[in-house]
């Protein structure tokens, strides 16, 4: 059954890719780079999702709000840009795009994907898609977590900025940045409170020596 679903998913991606190649003259090269980045995002996350799916969750926080925020981010990062690029639904909001913005977008995407991969590797079995504490949850302060507390969110911000620069549309372009910013506004204070309750002084000291998204510049 699972294999069947996976096969269907890959067929869906191939059809989507073919549609985007067909619509390349309308959407521009940025659209294909955006699509490749979205597939890469999935490929990076998938093994971690599989590895952690049977792990025991000790505590789950704000389950309802978290589900809503996840739907919002899926809309902004995948559904709205995907539907627009395939159907031209939002073409009334298209703009010229140019060549410099997509080129910067490409590098933002590469950097974001690298950080996305590293933060999954460093967080290991402590990673979860919603706010949770696992059984035997450990506090990670090494690797890309040495200087910043939310490298995975920094990565998603970079990838969302790439979407803005790669998709020449005033709605589909910024959709990911808007959705993800809203998610962070609600989630990060809750996440830090949860970590402080769980790890006490250790997390407080970690907070004191790090920043949320970018390393301190001395
Ligand atoms: N905010 C982090 C992690 C995102 S994944 C980042 O942007 O990189 C979300 C889960 O990671 C949360 O449910 C929390 O349980 C866990 N988490 C966040 N920071 C952590 C840390 N420093 N060590 C271990 N787990 C952490």
pLDDT for 217: 78
Residue 217 inside a domain? The answer is: no
Q: Which two tokens stand for residue 56?
A: 């025991």
pTM over 0.85: yes
The answer to whether 113 and 33 are in contact (CB under 8 A) is no
Residue ranges lining ligand 1, Cβ < 6 Å: 119, 123, 126-128, 131-133, 139-140, 145, 150-153, 191, 195
Ligand 1 centre and the CA of 60: distance in Å? 13
Q: How far apart are CA 158 and CA 152, in angstroms?
A: 10
| 74-122 pLDDT tens trace | 999 999 999 999 999 999 999 999 999 999 999 999 999 999 999 999 9
Q: How far apart are CA 173 and CA 167, in angstroms?
A: 5
The number of angstroms, rounded, from the C-alpha of 179 to the middle of its chain's C-alpha atoms is 11
Lowest mean pLDDT among 13-17, 61-65, 100-104: 61-65
Residue 170 inside a domain? The answer is: yes
Q: Residue length, the chain?
A: 218
pLDDT for 3: 77
**Ligand 1 atom nearest to 151, measured from its CA:** 8
Residue 86 inside a domain? The answer is: yes
In this structure, how many other beta carbons lie within 10 angstroms of the beta carbon of residue 18? Answer: 10
Chain mean pLDDT for the chain? 95
Element (H, E) at 134: strand 132-134
pLDDT for 53: 86
Q: How far apart are CA 177 and CA 171, in angstroms?
A: 11
Q: Could you tell me the CATH number of the domain that includes residue 28?
A: 1.20.120.1630
Confidence of residue 218 (pLDDT cuts 50, 70, 90): low
pLDDT for 5: 85
Domain carrying residue 183: 2-209
Residue 42 inside a domain? The answer is: yes
Q: How many domains does the chain have?
A: 1
Residue 68 inside a domain? The answer is: yes
Residue 124 inside a domain? The answer is: yes
| 147-162 pLDDT tens trace | 999 999 999 999 999 9
Mutation choice for ligand 1 from 195, 202, 215, CB with most ligand atoms inside 8 A: 195
**Ligand 1 atom nearest to 155, measured from its CA:** 7
Residue 172 inside a domain? The answer is: yes
What are the contacts of 78-82 at 24+ separation with CB within 8 A? 78/38, 80/171, 80/172, 80/175, 81/34, 81/163, 81/167, 81/169, 81/172, 81/173, 81/175, 81/176, 82/16, 82/38
Closest C-alpha to 16, from 45, 1, 38: 38
| 21-61 pLDDT tens trace | 999 999 999 999 999 999 999 999 999 999 988 888 888 98
Residue 218 inside a domain? The answer is: no
């Amino acid at each position: 059954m699972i294999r069947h679903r996976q096969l269907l998913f890959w067929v869906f991606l191939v059809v989507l890719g073919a549609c985007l190649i067909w619509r390349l003259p309308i959407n521009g090269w940025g659209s294909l780079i955006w699509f490749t980045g979205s597939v890469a995002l999935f490929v990076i996350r998938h093994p971690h999702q599989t590895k952690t799916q049977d792990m025991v969750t000790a505590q789950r926080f704000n389950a309802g709000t978290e589900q809503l925020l996840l739907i919002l981010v899926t809309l902004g990062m995948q559904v709205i840009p995907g539907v627009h690029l395939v159907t031209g639904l939002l073409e009334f909001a298209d703009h010229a795009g140019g060549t410099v913005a997509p080129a910067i977008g490409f590098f933002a995407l590469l950097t974001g994907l690298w950080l996305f991969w590293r933060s999954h590797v460093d967080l290991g079995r402590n990673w979860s898609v919603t706010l949770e504490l696992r059984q035997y949850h450990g506090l990670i302060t090494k690797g890309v977590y040495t200087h910043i507390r939310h490298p995975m969110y920094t990565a998603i911000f970079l990838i969302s900025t790439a979407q803005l620069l790669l998709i020449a549309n005033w709605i589909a372009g910024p959709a990911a940045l808007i959705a993800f910013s809203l998610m962070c506004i609600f989630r990060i204070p809750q996440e830090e409170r949860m970590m402080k309750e769980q790890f006490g002084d250790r997390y407080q000291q970690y907070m004191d020596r790090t920043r949320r998204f970018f390393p301190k510049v001395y």
